[in-house]
Homo-oligomer: A and B are copies of this chain.
Amino acid sequence: MSASIIAIDAMGGDFGPRCIVPASLDCLEEIPSLHLVLVGQASLIEELIAQRPGVDRARLHVQHASEVIAMDDAPAQVLRRKTDSSMRVALDMVQQGRANACVSAGNTGALMALSRFVLKTLPGIDRPAIVSAIPTNNGFCHLLDLGANVDCSPEQLYQFAVMGSVAAEVLGTPAPRVALLNVGTEMIKGNQQVKLAAQLLQEAGSVNYTGFIEGDGLYRGEADVVVCDGFVGNIVLKSSEGLAKMIALRIEAIFKRHWAGRLVGLVALPLLARVKNELAPAQYNGASLLGLQGIVVKSHGSAGRAGFKSAIRRALKEIEEDLPQRLSGKLEDLLL
């Protein structure tokens, strides 16, 4: 296998370079075929690298970028004004073929806007979608869009279904069951966009479309790919994260309060921690921007070191599977 080069936006996320640089160096150590370019304030990055003994500098490059995109910068401003930001430079490297993928924990809206501008979408795709795997009763499910597009036409939902299906197949699920998220499973249920998208999917017949799915069906594992607009997807993802945290807190509180529970807690709390980790997928697995002419993985803004490492591994997997190329090939047949 040839070397895989990943350009890392070292400045993004809630924790910034102090989390991202060590996470990147961990991956470099663990994966011999991996090459990394850390993009951002070079002096700060070099300082953080110097704290770590035995770094293989032959596979590590530092690329200076003078600007940083803030979490509340407006995408349009970023596009016009911050042309030497760490995020922009990392994406430029992918576009120029100097890197095979970009990983960023920065501002999602800015990442989406810059990715579209720098890398362009695949032929037939109007706008990229954000996809991530969420855990279900019997495995996991690829949910998209997670927030890139607040309003979606039926055609866009159709495109998301095709992209999600191809991505799921590439990532190891043969003939993935694709469903549209809705408020009921009967044909008459839902808003116009969802009803028309269902028609498009039924008529095209090129995706293993299984119909509507409800919110609870999502977690029951009734589909491998679940499609919705970014408004709904983002709210489902974040409310699920919030609920999982709340449940964990409540259970911990009960175990700590209850007298027998205190003993029990010694065994139970580590088990609960494991469940909690499994249930914060976006935080731990990273999310892909699907539909671009290049690989871009978004790590959760509040992801710690383990989370950022997962995002790098996800990018590596997409490089190895050549996801954009395979998407592009299949899209030609499947798109309307």
What is the interface of chain A, defined by CB distance below 8 A to chain B?
72, 74, 135-137, 147, 150-151, 181-183, 186, 188, 190-192, 214-220, 228, 230-232, 234-247, 249-251, 254-255, 258, 260-261, 264, 267-268, 271-272, 274-275, 278-279
Q: Which 3 residue pairs of A and B lie closest in terms of their CB atoms, listed nearest first?
A: A215-B238, A215-B239, A216-B242
CB <8 Å contact, B246 and A243 = no
> In the complex, which residue of chain B has the Cβ closest to the Cβ of A181?
B235
CB distance from A204 to the nearest CB of B (A): 24
Known contacts A181-B235, A232-B232, A260-B267; decide if A240 and B215 are in contact (CB<8 Å): yes
CB <8 Å contact, B219 and A239 = yes
> In the complex, which residue of chain B has the Cβ closest to the Cβ of A183?
B234
Known contacts A215-B235, A216-B239, A235-B183; decide if A267 and B272 are in contact (CB<8 Å): no
A-B contact pairs, 12 of them (CB 8 A): A151-B191, A191-B231, A218-B239, A219-B242, A219-B246, A220-B246, A228-B235, A240-B243, A247-B279, A251-B271, A254-B274, A264-B268
- When distances are taken between beta carbons in the complex, the residues of chain B under 8 Å from A74 are 188
Contact of A150 among B191, B216, B260 (CB under 8 A): B191
Question: How many copies are assembled?
Answer: 2
CB <8 Å contact, B137 and A246 = yes
> In the complex, which residue of chain B has the Cβ closest to the Cβ of A136?
B246
- When distances are taken between beta carbons in the complex, the residues of chain B under 8 Å from A239 are 215-216, 218-219, 236, 239-240
Contact of A245 among B151, B216, B232 (CB under 8 A): B216
- When distances are taken between beta carbons in the complex, the residues of chain B under 8 Å from A181 are 235
Contact of A238 among B150, B186, B216, B238 (CB under 8 A): B216
> In the complex, which residue of chain B has the Cβ closest to the Cβ of A221?
B246
CB <8 Å contact, B267 and A251 = no
Assembled-state Cα–Cα distance A237/B137 (Å): 18
Contact of A255 among B186, B214, B218, B268 (CB under 8 A): B268
Known contacts A239-B215, A244-B247; decide if A183 and B260 are in contact (CB<8 Å): no
CB distance from A254 to the nearest CB of B (A): 5
Contact of A231 among B135, B183, B218, B246 (CB under 8 A): B183
CB <8 Å contact, A215 and B236 = yes
Assembled-state Cα–Cα distance A239/B136 (Å): 11
- When distances are taken between beta carbons in the complex, the residues of chain B under 8 Å from A238 are 214-216
Assembled-state Cα–Cα distance A150/B192 (Å): 9
CB <8 Å contact, B216 and A249 = no
CB <8 Å contact, B220 and A242 = yes
CB <8 Å contact, A190 and B264 = no
Assembled-state Cα–Cα distance A220/B261 (Å): 25
- When distances are taken between beta carbons in the complex, the residues of chain B under 8 Å from A272 are 251
> In the complex, which residue of chain B has the Cβ closest to the Cβ of A254?
B271
Assembled-state Cα–Cα distance A278/B135 (Å): 22
